[in-house]
């Protein structure tokens, strides 16, 4: 049964929440309000069938509490699928903290969040995500052991930042879909448009540049694009126009839902392979891409490197085992593309089926 913690007013306004939870296969949805620290947080636990639910904590502004709930649920489900496809002994969860206009005491806020995580008794393990820092996770870890990203982590006290590993996995997944769809065993001379060159997009751009690809980049942060222009000879494009670039590969590495009714008809790329979560605005957009003969690497598979890193650090697995799991992203993407071609179905549907088979 789904478990829901809501105040009376929210419950009245959300009478269909239980149906929604059941439809999405959810186990738990938790809310925490702490007036002293100003914490307003949600933890969504999609599944614990394969193990405790691991997923990052987002600390961003939301237009409404409903938008925050939707984000938490979508991301938690993606984490479940990601862990299942990668063969990790974990379930999927996600936390979101609604970022206030003014933060009075950030350490106090993250201690309160840590107590929230602790009260769930290990069913949810938190980690770094958009808007949070390793120092925030260090503070949460003062009151709970269920933290998978810290300043010093694992057997070698490695940095717990998952971003470089997300980039590594994305690069290997991109190579796999290029091999399958473009029949290329290298990336030399391929034209790649990257939307978002931040913590993950920048190291991905670097790897692509070193592999001989030509780059177009876009980001709301002009310093980030200027860096890529200087270091990689990348051409800078407007953030909202980069999907229109005449290129071989479009790599969404920023916002979700960028593949939608408006953008898809304008895409000129032959392949889409990026690290952003929830790239398809709706599942049906996978079919739209297929109809246009655009190969799509399912986001929750190609961007699994960060989860793999956090999981292996938390579970004290060896670096070699973590590296092998990340290499497996290549095989997973290639297998999904092959099955999708054989069954004449969109790759996102095949990826979902593969995850659900493993969850069951």
The residues annotated as belonging to the active site are: 94
Yes or no: say if 358 and 332 are a contact pair by the CB < 8 Å rule. Answer: no
CB atoms under 10 Å from CB of 72, counted, come to: 26
Smallest CA-to-CA distance from 58 within 116, 130, 9 is with 130
Calculate the dihedral angle through the C-alpha atoms of 222, 227, 233, 235, rounding to the nearest 10 degrees: -10
DSSP one-letter code for 246: -
Non-local (6+) Cβ contacts of 280 within 8 A are: 257, 259, 260, 286, 296, 299, 348
Q: Strands 28-34, 39-47: parallel, antiparallel or unpaired by DSSP?
A: antiparallel
Q: Phi/psi of residue 274, each to 5°?
A: -145, 175
Q: Is 343 exposed, middle or buried (0-12, 13-18, 19+ CB in 10 A)?
A: exposed
Strand partners, 40: 33
Rg (CA), the chain: 20
User: In the chain, where does DSSP find H-type helix?
Assistant: 8-13, 17-23, 65-85, 106-119, 134-140, 163-181, 201-210, 222-232, 284-291, 299-302, 305-314, 319-343, 347-359
Yes or no: say if 273 and 177 are a contact pair by the CB < 8 Å rule. Answer: yes
DSSP characters over 159-195: ----HHHHHHHHHHHHHHHHHHHT--S--TT-EEEEE
Q: Phi/psi of residue 187, each to 5°?
A: -110, 5
């Amino acid at each position: 049964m789904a478990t829901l913690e809501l105040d009376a007013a929210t419950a009245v306004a959300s009478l269909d929440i239980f149906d929604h939870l059941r439809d999405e296969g959810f186990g738990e949805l938790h809310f925490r309000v702490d007036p002293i620290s100003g914490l307003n947080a949600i933890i969504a636990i999609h599944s614990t069938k394969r193990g405790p639910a691991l997923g990052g904590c987002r600390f961003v502004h939301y237009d409404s509490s409903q938008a925050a709930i939707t984000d938490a649920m979508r991301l938690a489900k993606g984490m479940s699928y990601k862990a299942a496809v990668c063969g990790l002994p974990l379930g999927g969860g996600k936390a979101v903290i609604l970022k206030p206009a003014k933060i009075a005491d950030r350490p106090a806020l993250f201690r309160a969040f840590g107590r929230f995580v602790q009260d769930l008794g290990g069913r949810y393990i938190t980690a770094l995500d958009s808007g949070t820092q390793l120092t925030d996770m260090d503070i949460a870890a003062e009151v709970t052991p269920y933290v998978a990203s810290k300043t010093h982590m694992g057997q070698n006290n490695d940095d717990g930042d998952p971003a470089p590993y997300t980039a590594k996995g994305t690069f290997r997944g991109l190579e796999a879909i290029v091999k399958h769809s473009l029949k290329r065993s290298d990336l030399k001379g391929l034209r790649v448009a990257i939307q978002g060159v931040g913590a993950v997009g920048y190291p991905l751009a670097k790897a692509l540049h070193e592999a001989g690809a030509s780059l177009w980049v876009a980001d709301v942060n002009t310093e980030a694009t200027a860096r890529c222009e200087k270091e990689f000879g990348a051409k800078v494009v407007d953030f909202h126009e980069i999907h229109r670039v005449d290129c071989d590969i479009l790599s969404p590495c920023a916002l979700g839902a960028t593949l939608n009714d408006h953008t898809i008809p304008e895409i000129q790329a032959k392949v889409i392979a990026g690290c952003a979560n929830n790239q398809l605005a709706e599942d049906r957009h996978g079919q739209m891409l297929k109809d246009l003969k655009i190969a799509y690497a399912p986001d929750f598979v190609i961007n699994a490197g960060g989860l793999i890193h956090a999981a292996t650090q938390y579970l004290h697995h060896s670096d070699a085992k973590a590296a092998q799991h990340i290499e497996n992203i290549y095989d997973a993407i290639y297998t999904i593309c092959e099955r999708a071609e054989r069954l004449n179905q969109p790759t996102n549907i095949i990826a979902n089926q593969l995850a659900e088979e493993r969850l069951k």
